[in-house]
Amino acid sequence: MKTHRLLVAAGLIGAIGLGAVVTRASWLGSSERAPGPAKARSVSVEVARAERRTVPVEVDAIGTVTPVASVALKSRLETTIVAVHFEDGAPVREGDLLFTLDARQLDAQIAQAEGSLARDQAQLAGAERDLRRYSDLVAKGATTQVNLDNAKTQVDVLQATIQADQSALDNLRVQKSFTVIRAPISGRISAAAVKVGNFVRPADVAPLATINQIAPVYVAFAIPQRTLGELRDAMDAGASRVVATIPGTQRSETGKVAMVENTVDATTGMITVRGIMDNTAETLWPGTLVSSKLIVRTEHAVVVPSVAIQRSQTGSFVFVIKDNVARVQPVTVLRTAQGLSVVETGLAGDEQVVVDGQLLLLEGTRVEVRPRRAGA
């Protein structure tokens, strides 16, 4: 038994030694076949060039289109509509005939007033003849002074009566002019609230129709109070502009600042600005919400695509490519607009900055520039 155990132990020891030899040889072989240090990998990136060019200093806001003038048409008489001379929503020009009202009652009153005037004029002519006759008789001593004075009084009374008759007639003619309603301004008219045959009166709350002047048109919006000083300087120099764009479309109108409100809203720190647009094509419609852009001035500065700007705890930076190596370049960004960032410090212009692939970059990473995608 002892001999058997010794043989088993010797076999185990031999097996362990053989395994150690084989393992060491394997390790040595692997070390001989191991390659050298791994070659540094290049990161594929897209780049754009920093440009020094003229850029506008602008303020974006949401604006509302309002008409320059709006007129609600109402009847000044209690009468009936006999004709409507426009189509609902049609453009109208100043002086165009819009409504005709029933004028028959006024025509009768005018005829009556004209008759009263003619009667009093005839009586005045007779009184003037009596005055001349009494004057001759008094000169001859054939009548008393009292008769002459009475004749003069009668002439004065009839002259005053004629003046009152003429005033009443003029008033009736003015009243008749109200039976013809014309457009006081040019613009777009609303749908007629009443049609032929309807009875209208001055006390009616709803207007017959409303005319809004659309060309030109106002765009009102609010800007921060910190911009007020620059805006006033730009207005004095005639350099301010306003661009109003309908959201979701490329349709826009350009105009100038027409008015700045005289008070800043203390609760919001905003001030209302009103721009005026020619709007000859009627692009802007009253009541529409538009994207307003106030261009205060233009300046020469370095711009880069906004996607190139990266941010860290120490501030903003961009990756600049030099000799196919990425370098971290701290920058100071003044503002961002329309996908471009205006850089105040850090770039001189004409540098290549990374716009895609920044997540794989570090200081000194080698890069491979690939063409930019269409539309980027």
CATH code, domain carrying 88: 2.40.50.100
- Same domain, yes or no, for 92 and 184? yes
Is 291 part of a structural domain of the chain? yes
Q: Are residues 90 and 203 in the same domain?
A: yes
Q: What is the CATH number of the domain that holds 349?
A: 2.40.420.20
Q: What's the pTM value of the predicted model, to 2 decimals?
A: 0.68
Q: Are residues 193 and 215 in the same domain?
A: no
DSSP string covering 245-302: E-TTSS-EEEEEEEEE-SS-BTTTTEEEEEEEE--TT--S-TT-EEEEEEEEEEEEEE
- Is residue 363 one of the residues assigned to a domain? yes
Which run of H or E residues covers position 114?
Answer: helix 104-140
Q: How far is CA 341 from CA 50, 55, 229, 334, 336, in A?
A: 10, 10, 23, 7, 4
* Structural domain containing residue 224: 59-68+211-300
Q: What does the pLDDT profile of the chain (376 residues) look like in tens digits? A: 455 555 555 555 655 655 544 444 444 344 444 444 444 578 889 999 998 888 888 888 999 999 999 999 999 999 999 999 999 999 999 999 999 999 999 999 999 999 999 999 999 999 999 999 999 998 888 888 899 999 999 999 999 999 999 999 999 999 999 999 999 999 999 999 999 999 999 999 999 999 999 999 999 999 999 889 889 888 888 888 999 999 988 899 999 999 999 999 999 999 999 999 999 999 999 999 999 999 888 888 899 999 999 998 889 999 999 988 999 999 999 888 778 899 988 898 888 999 998 888 888 889 888 887 655 5
Q: How far apart are CA 224 and CA 268, in angstroms?
A: 9
Instruction: Assess whether 83 and 206 both reside in one domain.
Output: yes
